[in-house]
Amino acid sequence: MASGTLISHEPATGAPVWTGPVGDIDDAVARAQRAWPAWAAQPHSNRIELVRRFANALRREHDRLATLIARETGRPLWETRGEVEDAVARVEVAVRAYADRTAQRRLDSALQGSAALRHKPHGVLAVITPASSPVAAPVAQIVPALIAGNVVVFKPSERATGSAELLVQCFHRAGISATVVQMVAGGPDEGKALAAHDDIDGVLFTGSAHVGIAINRRLAANPGKLVALEMGGNNPIVVWDTPKIADAAVLVVQSAFASAGQRCTSARRLIVQSALADDLIEEVRRLADRLIVGAPFDDPAPFMGPVMDNRAADGLTESFVYLLSNGGRAIKHLVRLDEANPFLSPAIIDVTRMNERPDVELFGPLLQVVAVDDFEGAIAEANATRFGLCAALVGGSPQDYNRFWSQVRAGVINWNRPTHAHSTGAPLGGVGLSGNHRPAAYYTADSCAYPVASAELDQPRAGIGVGLKDV
């Protein structure tokens, strides 16, 4: 039995946003197991209709959801409105992806009958998501799971439970049973218990590499349980051979500091051609100095809000000091703007001369700069990481981009676009510590149903032509 009370707080003020009991994992999974056969037996068209009704419920709650996300994450209201709109759009994307990625196929073969390919749902899926995207991220996992015929036990981040609760209410208002989509509130212990539960058939996880690796290790001895990991990255943005310094600087700032650097796809490392370094870095610094840091509902609207909590702010501050004391050169200092709450200025540090650069995901507005002399060195620096989520090249020729695309290890590779630019019709995932080759977004459908191949005849017809004794 679960016990205890959970509280989520506003990063911008410290005020409580949501209070509720910790969920009971065993009870939720048992309820889901009982609900699954009836849900899976529904016609596919019924499930499609219900998730479309869910999209309409999201539209009706647009303002309330955007406000709640802004309060729980500290992100500006203009940005959280975009997240709700993105979540609505992901429903139709999931419908298209299911038809594309898991369509039924049949190949006739005359007297040999036919070969068929169909897909089956796994059963009960655990969906575990972070606070940085408390609505769009779970929608991108839950909706494909439901369309495929799975039921879902959803464990959101303990720091954004209010947004998750309202999201789940939208599923229920659309006519999707409260046993088909359930939310269990809780912290890391509940997340571990859910992922490892014997009656869970698969885990769709979005979050840090540390937690994702722990889940993968815990379930490694059970090959029958699906594990799809969408983790972070030490993402590079490379600026090369371009006269458009101002445009390049905007792309760097957008990549590094949007959402206070709290996207899995945020740029952590700026790799710049030495000949461009002084001009580009000065332009990036000048633009970063102009960014407004503030609370979600401030007027004028801020570009970025606080990081998630004081612990995250303290960790980023310590990381900046570490880089500085081990050979880094401050270009723009990381400043704690509020003693009580986790507001940080965007920070830039040149780590070109550091002997050993830590290969970690610094989840916040902290950009490391490395200057290199040749394109081969830029590619080597981009690949100098155990992660491999995304990378971007700004500038360069088509030939440079072709070389960059072919040699850089990442699941998303962009040209003259921010690192977090992504098409809804494409997969999102990485290699190394960024994922386990089960990309999300459009390809989430692949993780929500497994293929079943069949050889079929409408009547038995067989014979043995060799190796029989004469009668």
CA distance 259 to 75: 6
For helices 44-60 and 62-73, the axis angle rounded to 10 degrees is 70
Q: Given 230, 283, 361, 381, which residue is catalytic?
A: 230
**Catalytic site includes residue 264:** yes
CA distance 307 to 259: 8
Is-contact 13 296, C-beta < 8 A?
no
CA distance 421 to 45: 32
Beta strands 235-240 and 390-395, pairing class:
parallel
CA distance 351 to 62: 42
Among 443, 11, 436, 428, smallest CA distance to 235 is for 428
CA distance 264 to 137: 11
Tokens of 114: 């036919």
**Catalytic site includes residue 230:** yes
Is-contact 17 162, C-beta < 8 A?
yes
Q: Given 61, 72, 170, 264, which residue is catalytic?
A: 264
Active site residues: 230, 264
